[in-house]
Amino acid sequence: MQKHRLFFLAFCAALLLSVAALGAAEITRIGGRWNFNGTGSINGISVTDTGIVEITTHVRPDNLEVATSFYVQGYLRNESGAEESYSYRYGDPNGSDGLLVNPEIGGGTHTYDGVTLTLTIVNEDKIRFSQVGRQSSTGYRYDMIYEATRDTGDDGSGGCSVGFAPSMLLLALPLLYLVHR
């Protein structure tokens, strides 16, 4: 009976350690496809901005994520209701320069063509960002605030993922204990 109790306690301890290790290792990444909505002004004209952005990222050895390119498709609508569609790509998907995202502070800042993009990670499915500044190439003044939600789509997995984490080896510790005794 004592042997089974020790096995059970060792198993529970290993399970708790593995769950804690998995949770601690989870870092929210911004790479992927996001649906965004924004409000603000461009050249003093009130606008709303709606669309999708696909963010290509790379994770550096120091665990910081670099957003190297943004592909954006959207619709700008001014206060009188006039709407204009647009699409553009900024950055190089294979590059190394871009918006540096620090998971410890939950975001990052990057200036491109005179406009500063400030990004804040709310959670794994929501980010907020702003664009403020005068665009050098056009002279347009931007003062926009956005919220974006991750476009998860439906991959048919039912929300489940199957994988292996090295920390799961902790679950084998009680078995090693039994074999060794």
Q: What is the pLDDT of residues 35-49, one digit of tens each?
A: 999 999 999 999 999
pLDDT tier for residue 90 given thresholds of 50, 70 and 90: confident
In 34-119, which residue ranges form alpha helices assigned H by DSSP? none
- Which CATH architecture best describes the domain 32-150? Beta Barrel (2.40)
pLDDT over 90, % of the chain? 39
Instruction: Name which residue leads in pLDDT, 101 or 172.
Output: 101
* Domain limits, the chain: 2-25+166-180, 32-150
Instruction: Quote the tokens at residue 173.
Output: 């510790």
pTM above 0.85, yes or no: no
Residue 130 has pLDDT above 50, yes or no: yes
Q: Are strands 32-42 and 141-150 parallel, antiparallel or unpaired?
A: antiparallel
Contact at 8 Å (CB) between 103 and 28?
yes
